Copies of this chain bind each other. A is one copy, B any other.
């Protein structure tokens, strides 16, 4: 469009944004049920926000954080929870080791690292088990991994983590810290909504793509209509890209890769209170806990703190324990966690919204997809290539800031350049 080409955007849902999804609390005040944060170095998403007139504000981080372990609740200030000194030493050693290994990993070709085969055949979980002696430090590192992937460390290749560290600037602390320091006033879904508004009628809602014919042109089928184009950019979560019926079928490398890059599993919970009552007690709203289902919380209030909002995450197996459970059971368990950390007041929010992303038919998991062991070294070079006139984009297709809105924008720019080059 900007390049003078005609475009059409087919969106399966009756809204745009995908994993950018905000729920309105009051005019101008939203809670984010999906993508939420940005941080320093994420130039693309911050640039897009400026371009589209979406203001940013700092994540609330004043006051003390809470650390819950073995049934005890402790407060602390700064980034380092009051774990036992031996645990903190182990954790620091592990972080330095991971950052050190990540230095030899190029995020757009992690399989070329000298030690790639060795690192790719280990899970992050096994690495933690072998390299972190204290149980407390292991728990903290597993929690950090879950907060990046929404998945158990036992499922994820160590090389995937090293690549993520490298793609976020080289320090794992960025992934679990400063990448969450900036929020978007009115919610980040506005980025998607305002982009869609610019495209006007070129965006068609309620158009799930079920089949694609790959010929001299690309013909894209939805249950109600078919569309023909010279190029198509697919931006679904990876497992769902594999579920489209292609004719002719995708080449074996792409097909096998799409069999191997599952989505994590997260229930994102927001509890809304008239006021952020925890701030009165000098608390930031941030919790790090060894006890689920919610082990991580933050203050998620709009600027000014009216209303007060706590956000919490059930990640990996913690979220799976609620597959098939009622919404009421999920709410009860979530509020029990908030009350455990912030007292009885937290058990009685004025509003409560959560989303089990694995149940969303057009996403089927969160935060994003990941590489199990052996996949990056066996197959991932296929992933960076288009298939004829099919191009792939989305947060999980970016070597830089993979899994973030920033990565999604980068991968979209790359795919658009590929397609434009094909049209030239």
Which single member of B121, B125, B263 contacts A374 (CB below 8 Å)? Answer: B125
List residues of A (376-402) whose CB comes within 8 Å of B's CBs: 377-379, 382
Bound: A365/B258 CA distance, A: 12
Bound: A239/B260 CA distance, A: 9
Asked if A154 and B323 make an inter-chain contact with CB atoms under 8 angstroms apart, the answer reads no
Q: Copies per complex?
A: 2
Bound: A129/B119 CA distance, A: 12
Asked if A378 and B253 make an inter-chain contact with CB atoms under 8 angstroms apart, the answer reads no
Q: Which chain B positions have C-beta within 8 A of A155? A: 260, 372-375, 378
CB of A28 within 8 Å of the partner chain: no
A208 to chain B, nearest CB (A): 9
Q: Which chain B positions have C-beta within 8 A of A125? A: 121, 373-374
CB of A213 within 8 Å of the partner chain: no
Which single member of B122, B243, B265, B356 contacts A242 (CB below 8 Å)? Answer: B243
Interface size class, chain A: 35 or more
Using an 8 Å CB-CB cutoff, how does the interface string of A138-167 with B read, 1 for contact, 0 for none?
000000000000001111100000000000
Stretch at the interface among A90-98, A168-176, A244-252: A244-252
Asked if A251 and B323 make an inter-chain contact with CB atoms under 8 angstroms apart, the answer reads yes
Asked if A256 and B373 make an inter-chain contact with CB atoms under 8 angstroms apart, the answer reads no
| A-to-B contact residues, CB < 8 Å | 117-118, 120-123, 125-126, 129, 152-156, 210, 239, 242-243, 245, 249, 251-253, 255-256, 259-260, 262-263, 265, 316-317, 320, 323-324, 356, 358-359, 361, 364-365, 372-375, 377-379, 382
